[in-house]
A and B are shown apart, each in its own frame.
With several copies, the nearest count.
Chain A
Amino acid sequence: GGGGSQTPAASSSDTSLSDVKSKGEIVVATEGTYKPFSFHAEGAGDLTGYDVEIARAVAEKLGVKATFQETQFDGIFAGLDAKRFDTIANQISINDERKAKYDFSKPYTVSTGVIVTKADNNSITGFDSLKGKTTAQSLTSNFYKMAVDAGANVQSVEGWAQGVALVRQGRVDAIVNDKLTYLDYAKTNPDAGLKIAAETTEKSESAFVFRKGSTELTKAVDKALDDLRTDGTLAKISEKYFGTDVTK
């Protein structure tokens, strides 16, 4: 064990934690193009963002270095499977399909989904009014599924930026996404002419993802998250990016 915590000895088959410790680093996959969670400062500077900072803090608690690998979303799970990464920090929300294949840490983001429309669009007032409307979603988010379930005609786009462009150009009716993403966008683009038309009641939770059976590592990360929560680090990071605590 390290970091002063009392972890049970790793079982012979699960070397996930000892591997990380012996390497002295935890390899974290992230997109690097997902603001404000994972992006480069000023576009070309260092990798930063909410997920990135939390991953760094967790690594520090584990007593190892966080090494980030930036890939596109296509490669994130394949890379985890191929043992190229130890975990993913990219606002991966917890759902049943994923839980069947992967282990999750405790959530470090709790957020809601929002329907974003043009400010002058009054036809969409909630998820039930999405039926028959066109929305733009990126595959990366589980808001894609939310929109499909609501009966929307869903168009896939490369990312948030393209989705917003379509809403602003009036070529789709709405975009369903994380409230946090929208808030960040609204902060930098105050005159975009958009609004939140509706918000989910259901919360969505994001967490670190591990290969199935990485029980030791998952436990250690959970412990680290608990510690960070206790010492106020999580709240501090959240305040920095969102002006509020979104970690619970």
Chain B
Amino acid sequence: MPLNWDLIWSSFGPIVTGAITGTIPLTLASFVIGLALALLVALMRLSRNAVVSGVARFYVSVIRGTPLLVQLFVIFYGLPSLGVKLDPWPSAIIAFSLNVGGYAAEVIRAAILSVPKGQWEAGHTIGMSRGQSLRRIILPQAARVSVPPLSNTFISLVKDTSLASLILVTELFRNAQQIAAFSQEFMALYLEAALVYWVICLALSSGQSVLERRLDRYVAH
């Protein structure tokens, strides 16, 4: 592949800017909100109330069973006909958070279930309520188990945010596409965008390692 190095060099600026002003904040905001939502949904799925757990199951099924592109589309272009007109950024954050919520809910649910039942019982025997046991005993342990799968969700999210350009949010990949459209050098620009994504993911992976080491300090090695 003969690459146009001048073009690649000069387009680093816009692409990295797109990452910093678009991709990264969008990813972070959606991930944080999505995690909170996922915890809620995971607890709903674990509820003994069939309606509550049914609602949660349906939500997870729809989110995981339909394309993210369509989810974005519905929130940005579909909701206005129901009188809800959100700006691009709020729409994007809502859509990606809902998406993370669906995927991460299953991870968190599995992590909660992976904590031995004896831990709940130990919480109860010292007088804790279900909520207290969950908060102080179960979730801190579930956190450890769920870091690797959640970081997968995180890394997928980084790349998925490129879809936000469909709803007018400017980010890394959109900037690469713009330059590609001007220069007709789409291969070079896409490779360059991929490189920047890769660097972001490498940074995330090393962050994951640090976090895992921190959370692993209380288990035998």
Contacts and interface: CB of A to CB of B under 8 A. Distances in A.
Interface of A: 32-35, 39-44, 69-75, 77-79, 81-84, 97-98, 101-102, 136, 139-140, 144-145, 155-162, 164-166, 169, 171, 185, 188-189
A185 B184 CA distance: 8
Q: Give the 7 A-B residue pairs with the shortest CB-CB distance, closest first.
A: A43-B179, A33-B181, A44-B14, A78-B77, A43-B182, A82-B80, A139-B181
Contacts of A169: 77, 80, 85
A156 B11 contact: no
Contacts of B89: none
A interface, over-half SS: mixed
B186 A162 contact: yes
B14 A72 contact: no
Contact of A144 (B175, B181, B186): B181
Contact of B180 (A69, A161, A164): A161
Contacts of B177: 33, 74, 139, 156
Interface string B163-196: 0011110100011011111111011001000000
Contact of A81 (B7, B13, B187): B187
A34 B190 CA distance: 17
B78 interface: yes
A70 B168 contact: yes
Contacts of B168: 69-71, 75, 136, 155-157, 166
Given A43-B11, A44-B13, A159 B181 contact: yes
A43 B80 contact: no
Nearest to B81: A82
B183 A97 contact: yes
B178 A164 contact: no
A74 B186 contact: yes
B184 A43 contact: no
Contacts of B77: 75, 78-79, 81-82, 84, 162, 165, 169
B59 interface: no
A34 B183 CA distance: 11
A101 B14 CA distance: 23
B120 interface: no
A32 B186 contact: no
